[in-house]
Structure 1
Amino acid sequence: MAVPEFRSMMLPLLSFLGDGEARHWRDQRDSCIREFELTDDDLAETIASGGYRLDGRVQWVHTHLFQAGLVDRPRRGTVQITERGRKVLADPPDQIDATYLSQFEEYREFRSRTRKTPDDANADESTETATPWETVAAAVRENDEALTSELLRRVTTQDPAFLEKLVLRLLTAMGYGGRTGATEHWGRSGDGGIDGTIRQDELGLDRVYVQAKRYTDHSVGRPDIQAFVGALHGVQADRGVFITTSRFTQDATSYVERIANRIILIDGHRLAELMLLYNVGVQDERTFVLKRVDEDFFE
């Protein structure tokens, strides 16, 4: 048989993880070979980019299961079932697909960010009628959203110093810091709520001050912002960037809009989006070229 569509692989791969062990994705690839009795010809199937079809589908299954909270990624290249995944296996459906996974809020949010229409059937129909350009663009958006979630997860597993250095590197990649990209990581106790600075000119007359908070469930509230503003006053500064891996409360956002200081707030999702946009913590994997007729050539 040919390599099955990835939705047909979801339940078998989740079942393979049922013993609770963290498994490398290649081990799961081997389990698919056994489960679906794939031949050498099946394994040799490639896609337009040159990659193996089975490898891509196994990894895409991981993305959907991860976004639904059924598996976690404890280490690079490995996947492990979660408690939610165990509950699914305790009363398994006939098939795990996008419709089934949509019962989980995290997965619905993931789908809503990557598709205009959350209904899976309508989404499939629109994909079949889309132009090649639209299909590629939709695939890139979905891949980017999955990558954004993974980037944020990776950042939250690092220590606070990693985040502090990361945001300075990101802001430099965004063009702050002038030609030299001059940054200073304070990273010390008693820093007064400032984790780093970026010089905007050669002499350091114009500086941007940065605060980074690595939180997961805890939102950044108004008191945190007020403390940062106080730290800025202490160094006679009037502008700063406050970045967190979680989110800001409405009270914190409203406070920033009312004060004279120029404070930019960047939450976790936006942080990951900027990392992707400015190639911080990511690298290009494949390049696809879509060609069209050169009308000038035929005139």
Structure 2
Amino acid sequence: MAIPDYQTLMLPVLRLAAAGETRVPDAAETIADDLGLSAAEREELLPSGRQRLLHNRIHWAKFYMNKAGLIDQPRRGRFVVSETGKQLLSTSPERIDVARLMQYQEFREFYTNAGTAKEVDGPPDQHQVAPSPSAGQTPEEQIEAAHRALQTALRGELLQRILQNSPSFFEQVIVDLLVAMGYGGSHRNAAEQLGRTGDGGVDGVINEDRLGLDRVYIQAKRYGPNVSVGRPEVQAFVGSLVGLGASKSVFVTTSTFSQHATDFARHLSQRIILIDGVRLGDLMIEYNVGVRVARTVEFKRLDEDFFAEDQ
């Protein structure tokens, strides 16, 4: 099953806190058992790969309930239900979510000051959060979703601009990218080798390292998004590699590879890497080719070690 969002986890987390002082990892283990999560689901990470998804959502459920006064944190890394939390549980709530937490003055002040709440007119116990598509996501998940959306849009722009330029520009893009990735030595050496062979479907050869101990053969196809590279083109490239005694190669396209082409390349004895438009755009972004940093945002966490007094 899918891991519940952080608001759905609020009630189970509060119930665990009512059973005694606990920690996020322990709560995650218990909740995972109760939900019957698989080993893969328990280990699922945020897109950043820095934290388990379940742990992150439990953390935010605990954090928000702490801001509402439902949970106390008596010592580092541990939490327990507060008297206010016990009172809420005594009413046997079916669900605890942000809208419910807005009934508490402390949380309303925190949430409104955080710039994430839109209050509707009415008495204090009727303040609610305006619904939004991301209401079930933690702040970190919203940030990462926004980052993915920006990356996808940027990747599309990169490919569009490559197609608007000349084939020689596309070759230069490949040179810049390979050099940025550590291949070919200098731009000059890489440029001299790429595009010079023209031997039966091989567009170029580039050194794998600065000393030229091994070489990588290149094929580049600048196709529009509706034209896929098929098996015949990959097969022709491989045939050229056999004649050259090549063992390593890269086939780059701005479009996609057909399933037959991908399956063919996967079962070859020679090492051939297929880079389609999506991966090409991602690599250009990762290695800062054709892009620049427009804005840097830092997110900081509390330094628990700073506040740890010697016992």
TM-score by length of 1: 0.54
Q: Please state whether the residue corresponding to 1:287 is helix, strand or coil.
A: coil
1:220–1:252 CA contact under 8 A, matched in 2:
yes
Q: How far does the alpha carbon of each residue in 1:64-89 deviate from its partner, in whole angstroms, 9 at most, with x for none?
A: xxxxxxxxxxxxxxxxxxxxxxxxxx
Partner of 2:267: 258
Distance 2:232 2:241 in 1: 14
Q: How far does the alpha carbon of each residue in 1:234-273 deviate from its partner, in whole angstroms, 9 at most, with x for none?
A: 3221210001111111111111122211111011111111
Deviation at 1:168, TM superposition (A): 2.5
Q: Tell me: CA distance 1:269–1:202, structure 2 relative to 1, closer, same or farther (3 Å).
A: closer
Distance 1:147 1:172 in 2: 21
Distance 2:293 2:171 in 1: 24
Does residue 195 (structure 1) correspond to residue 209 (structure 2)? The answer is no
2:201–2:240 CA contact under 8 A, matched in 1:
yes
Partner of 2:280: 271
Does residue 206 (structure 1) correspond to residue 214 (structure 2)? The answer is yes
Does residue 141 (structure 1) correspond to residue 148 (structure 2)? The answer is yes
Report the AA paired with residue 280 of structure 2. Answer: L
1:133–1:290 CA contact under 8 A, matched in 2:
no
Q: How far does the alpha carbon of each residue in 1:191-250 deviate from its partner, in whole angstroms, 9 at most, with x for none?
A: 432222221244423001111100012211111112211222232212100011111111
Distance 1:287 1:159 in 2: 32
Partner of 2:254: 245
Partner of 2:175: 168
Q: How far does the alpha carbon of each residue in 1:14-49 deviate from its partner, in whole angstroms, 9 at most, with x for none?
A: xxxxxxxxxxxxxxxxxxxxxxxxxxxxxxxxxxxx
Q: Please state whether the residue corresponding to 2:297 is helix, strand or coil.
A: coil
Q: Tell me: CA distance 1:202–1:278, structure 2 relative to 1, closer, same or farther (3 Å).
A: closer
Q: Name stretches of at least 5 consecutive residues in structure 2 with no aligned partner.
A: 1-130
Distance 2:169 2:187 in 1: 22
Q: Tell me: CA distance 1:202–1:289, structure 2 relative to 1, closer, same or farther (3 Å).
A: closer
Report the AA paired with residue 141 of structure 1. Answer: R
Q: Tell me: CA distance 1:260–1:174, structure 2 relative to 1, closer, same or farther (3 Å).
A: same
1:214–1:245 CA contact under 8 A, matched in 2:
yes
* Residue among 278, 282, 298 paired with 1:289: 298
Q: Tell me: CA distance 1:188–1:175, structure 2 relative to 1, closer, same or farther (3 Å).
A: closer
Q: How far does the alpha carbon of each residue in 1:86-125 deviate from its partner, in whole angstroms, 9 at most, with x for none?
A: xxxxxxxxxxxxxxxxxxxxxxxxxxxxxxxxxxxxxx73
Q: What do you get for the CA RMSD once the two structures are aligned?
A: 2.4
Report the AA paired with residue 305 of structure 2. Answer: D
1:164–1:196 CA contact under 8 A, matched in 2:
no
- Equivalenced residues, count: 176
Q: Please state whether the residue corresponding to 2:132 is helix, strand or coil.
A: helix
The runs of 4+ residues in structure 1 deviating greater than 4 Å are 178-182
Report the AA paired with residue 306 of structure 2. Answer: F
Q: Which moved more, 1:261-270 or 1:199-208?
A: 199-208
Deviation at 1:145, TM superposition (A): 0.9
Distance 1:188 1:278 in 2: 25
Does residue 151 (structure 1) correspond to residue 162 (structure 2)? The answer is no
Report the AA paired with residue 267 of structure 2. Answer: R
1:148–1:273 CA contact under 8 A, matched in 2:
yes
Report the AA paired with residue 195 of structure 1. Answer: D
Pairs within 5 Å for 1:213-252: 213-216=221-224, 217-252=226-261
Deviation at 1:159, TM superposition (A): 1.4
Report the AA paired with residue 216 of structure 2. Answer: V
Identity of aligned residues (%): 53
2:179–2:187 CA contact under 8 A, matched in 1:
no
Q: Tell me: CA distance 1:146–1:180, structure 2 relative to 1, closer, same or farther (3 Å).
A: closer
1:211–1:228 CA contact under 8 A, matched in 2:
yes
